[in-house]
Amino acid sequence: MALTVPLERISERSRRVDVRKGLLALLRLLATLLVGFPYVLGWLVGKLWLGLTVAWVAAGEGWRDARARPSSGGRSRIR
């Protein structure tokens, strides 16, 4: 059983293919990556910063609240 390759049909089809469409698709992909990567990175950094800021403020409020209230019950303090 011999495998034949239809070179005539391949040549005809290759002449009809527009290379510019492929290059345009590649250019769109590169532009998307160049713009999308910094956007996503900035979004992630912003969310991380917001989370850390909320945690820091919550810790500060908890600290101030704990120091403002006198200790009731629990272990006794020796002063």
- Where the chain has pLDDT below 50, the residues are none
Q: Provide CB contacts within 8 A for 77, sequence distance 6+.
A: 71
Give residue 71's pLDDT. 66
Tell me if 77 sits within 8 A of 71, measured CB to CB. Answer: yes
Domain spans of the chain, in order of start? 39-66
Give residue 73's pLDDT. 58
Q: In the chain, count of helices (H) and strands (E)? A: 2, 0
pTM for this entry: 0.53
Q: Provide CB contacts within 8 A for 71, sequence distance 6+.
A: 77
- Please, is 66 exposed, middle or buried when counting C-beta atoms within 10 Å of its C-beta (0-12, 13-18, 19+)? exposed
